[in-house]
Amino acid sequence: MAYHLLQHDRTRAGILAESLEQALQAVRHCQRCNTFSENELCERCASARRDPSLLCIVETPVDMNMMEQSQAYNGLYYVLMGRLSPLDGIGPRELKLDRLLARASDGVVREVILATNYTNEGEATAHYISELLHGRGIGVSRIARGVPVGGELEYVDSGTLAQAVRERRSLD
Residues that bind a second copy (CB under 8 A): 56, 58-60, 62-63, 66-67, 69-73, 113-115, 117-119, 122, 130, 139-154, 156-172
Q: For a second copy, which is the closer residue by CB, 31 or 117?
A: 117
Beta strands in 25-109 (DSSP E): 28-29, 36-37, 51-58, 75-79
CA atoms within 13 A on the CB side of 74: 4
Q: For a second copy, which is the closer residue by CB, 12 or 145?
A: 145
Of 54, 56, 64, nearest in space to 143 by CA: 56
DSSP 148: P
* In the complex, minimum distance from the CB of residue 128 to a second copy, in angstroms, rounded to a whole number: 12
* In the complex, minimum distance from the CB of residue 107 to a second copy, in angstroms, rounded to a whole number: 18
CA–CA distance, 81 with 94 (Å, rounded to integer)? 10
* In the complex, minimum distance from the CB of residue 118 to a second copy, in angstroms, rounded to a whole number: 5
CA–CA distance, 44 with 98 (Å, rounded to integer)? 22
* In the complex, minimum distance from the CB of residue 36 to a second copy, in angstroms, rounded to a whole number: 16
Q: What angle do CA 138, 142, 148 make, to 5 degrees?
A: 160
Q: For a second copy, which is the closer residue by CB, 25 or 69?
A: 69
Q: For a second copy, which is the closer residue by CB, 16 or 161?
A: 161
* In the complex, minimum distance from the CB of residue 3 to a second copy, in angstroms, rounded to a whole number: 28
Q: For a second copy, which is the closer residue by CB, 14 or 151?
A: 151
CA–CA distance, 89 with 91 (Å, rounded to integer)? 6
